[in-house]
Structure 1
Amino acid sequence: MDSGDESDFYGIPSPVIFPYSSGEETAKELEERVDSFNIQDWWEQRKHVQLALRLQAMRQPQNNGNKAHLHNPYEGCAYAWQLTETVDAFLERLPPATTDESESCPCIFICNPWIERTPKVQAHNQHVRGSENEGPEEDKTDLPRFLAGGSERLGMVAAFADFMKTSSKSKTAVAREVNKAGREATGDLLDLALNLHVRCGKWMIFCPVHSVDETWALVAKATANNELGIAAKVAPRSTVDQRTERLICVYTADFSDKEDVHRVAGKLKQFGLAQPHGRPLYYKPDCYTYLGIGSNNAWGIKASIYNTSEMLGKS
C-alpha cells in the first residue's frame, strides 16, 4: 500500500501532489496550476473521506480575502465532538446508549462547525450551576444582566401569588389570576432575553432508550453538516435513574426567529422524529432554563413556547 492509499484508509485525504518540475517551469506557471486546481472535483472523486476532514478541506475564500474557518466552541471538551475526529469516530467514542453519565460526562455534545459562537470556557453560562451545557452563546450575550432582571420579574409574580393567596377569592380564581400574571411576565422575560442576546433555544426530543444511538447519530450528522441548528446534545446513560427515554436537544440560534425554528422542526419531521399524529415535540428557550422555569412551576408559566403540532400542523 502506498502512502496515498494509507492516508485514505485512515480517513485522511491524500495530499495533492503535482508532478516534479524542473527549473524550466517558472513560479508563475506553478501558481497558475494551483489556481486552476478544482478542489470540489477532487473531493467528488474521494466521497468516502469522512465529513469533518472534508469540511475543513472545503474552506473557501471570503470576499475580504480571508479564508473561512470552522468553529468548535467545545474544543478540548472530552464529551464533545472535536474537529480533529470524524463524526463516525465521535459516535463510536461516545455512544449514548452505553456511555455513563458522570461528572466528567454530564452530556454528549456536538456543535455546528459552520457557526461561530463563544468558546465554552468563556461563556457566562459556565457560572450558572446546572446550565453549563446549554446552547453555545453568541458574542453579545449578557447573561448576568438577564438573570438579575429575569429573577426580579419572577419575584414580582411570586409576590403577587402570595398576596392573592391571602385574599378572599376562591382557589380557582386565585389560580386564574396567578396564571394571568405569569403569562404577562412571559412577554417581559422573552423581550429581556432578546435585548440581552440570550436568544438560544431547543427542540426537545424524548427518544426510547433502545433507539437512542441511531436517533442521536442522525441528529449529530445533520448538525455537523449544517442541516439543523447551532448544536445538539444527548443525555448519557444514568446510573441512578432507569429512564425509558433519553432527552436529545436540538438548539437553534434565536427563539424569536420563527422561520428558522420552523425549518428545523420540518427537518426533524422529515427525519421521522416529529410524528404528525404522535406526541408533539416542544421548544424551550434557554432563558427559561437559566431561570429554572420547568413544568408545573410556581409562576404559572408554560415551560415551552412552541410545539410541532401547532407549528407544523397535524397533517
Structure 2
Amino acid sequence: MEEDMECETTGIHPHRVKAEKPIYDSEYYAAEALACDMDIPVIYSTGRNKEPIEEWLEKTKPSIIHRDDGYGWIHVIRSEDRRNRNDSDEIDVLGLQEAWENLEASEREICKDKIFELANNFRVTAGKWMFWVSTGGKGDYLWSLVAKGIVSGNTLAKQAKISASEMGKEGPDANEHVVCIYNDDFLDKDQVYESERTIRSLGIKCQLHYKPDVFTLLGVYRKNPWNLRPTIYTSNFDVIRNQSIIEEVG
C-alpha cells in the first residue's frame, strides 16, 4: 500500500459533512467535494511508483478504500516533463476567486459566458469527463480500465481520479463512485472531443458528462442559485452504431 495510506484513522473523519436531513443543493455538493479533497489521497504516479499499475490496482480497489477510514480520492497520474513549462501557463486560482467575489458583489447577471471569460483570463481551463458507477466489481473494473489507459498513454488525459467508497451514504449518489478524467482546455472543443474518443477507446461505454474545473473551483454545482448547468457536454454511446453521440448542454 502506498505511503499515503499508512496513517492512523479514527473511524469518524473530522471533515465529514454531517446533517440529519441534508438539503441536496449546490452548497451541499460543494461541501461534500471540499471534504473529499481534504481527506487522505491515494496516489499512483508514473514518476514515483515503481510497481506495475496492475499490482497497485489490486491493492487499492475503490470498493475497499473507504471514506470512513479517512480516504478521499484515488488518483492516477501520468507524469510529464515540466521543465519547458512557461510560468505564464500557471493557473491563478486566487485571482479567479477574487474576480468571482467582485462579480457577485456587483449584482450583475452571472452567466456561463462570464464564467468562461474568467476561466480564460486566469488560465483555469482544465475540465473533466465524469461518470458515476456503483461500488463493487463493476466500479473496480471500469476504474482499472481508466487507470491503465492513463499510465500507458492510451488516453489524451494524463490524470484521473475516483472517489473512495462511502457505504450507507444517503442521497442521489448513494453507494456510487464518481470518476473524473481530465484534459487541459475545456475551451478547446476539439480537445474535449478527442479526450472523449480516447476514453471510449478504453472500453468505457456508460454515459459521460463534461464539467469545466472553473465551476468546481467557484462552487457551482447542481441546484445552484444562478440556475447554471455545471456540465457543458453529455456523451452517450450508441452500441449498435459503435459511436458516441455528444451533445452540448446548458
Q: Fold match, TM over 0.5?
A: yes
Count of equivalent residues: 190
Instruction: Choose from 63, 73, 79 the match for 1:113.
Output: 79
8 Å CA contact retained: 2:42, 2:73? yes
User: Where in structure 2 are the equivalents of 1:112-191 lying within 5 Å?
Assistant: 112-114=78-80, 116=82, 140-156=90-106, 159=107, 181-182=109-110, 185-191=111-117
Residue 211 of structure 2: SS of its match in structure 1? strand
> Kindly, what percent of the aligned residue pairs are identical?
24
CA offset digits 1:125-152 (Å, max 9, x no partner) = xxxxxxxxxxxxx951111000111233
Report the counterpart of residue 191 of structure 2 in structure 1: 260
Letter in 2 for 1:189: I
SS at match of 2:185: coil
Aligned counterpart, 2:159 = 231
Equivalent residue, structure 1, for 2:124? 198
Query: Residue 180 of structure 2: SS of its match in structure 1?
Result: strand
C-alpha displacement at 1:270, in angstroms?
3.2
Match status 1:298 vs 2:225 = yes
Q: Structure 1 115/258 Cα, relative in aligned 2: closer, same or farther at 3 Å? A: farther
Indicate which of 133, 136, 141 corresponds to 1:214. 141
CA positional deviation for 1:308: 1.4
Rg larger for: 1
Tell me what 2:200 maps to.
269
* Residue 60 of structure 1: aligned partner: none
Question: Which residue of the partner structure matches residue 10 of structure 1?
Answer: none
1:95 counterpart = 2:75: no
Greater strand fraction, Structure 1 or Structure 2: 2
Q: C-alpha separation between the residues in 1 aligned to 2:164 and 2:97? A: 28
2:37 aligned residue: none
| CA gap 1:301/1:313 in 2 versus in 1, 3 angstroms | same
Q: Which runs of 5+ in 1 are unaligned?
A: 1-76, 118-137, 161-180
CA RMSD of aligned residues (A): 2.7
Q: Which runs of 4+ in 1 moved over 6 A?
A: none
In structure 2, runs of 5+ residues without a counterpart are 1-39, 238-242
Query: 2:145 is paired with a residue of what secondary structure?
Result: helix
**Separation in 1 of the partners of 2:41 and 2:51?**
12
TM-score (norm 2): 0.67
Amino acid at match of 1:288: F
**Residues 165 and 175 of structure 2 are in contact (CA less than 8 Å); yes or no, is this contact kept in structure 1?**
no
Q: 1:313 aligns with which of 237, 245, 249?
A: 245
Q: 1:79 aligns with which of 42, 45, 54?
A: 42
Pair 1:286–1:240, CA change in 2 (3 A): same
Identify if the C-alpha distance between structure 1 residues 244 and 193 changes in structure 2 by more than 3 Å, giving closer, same or farther. Answer: same
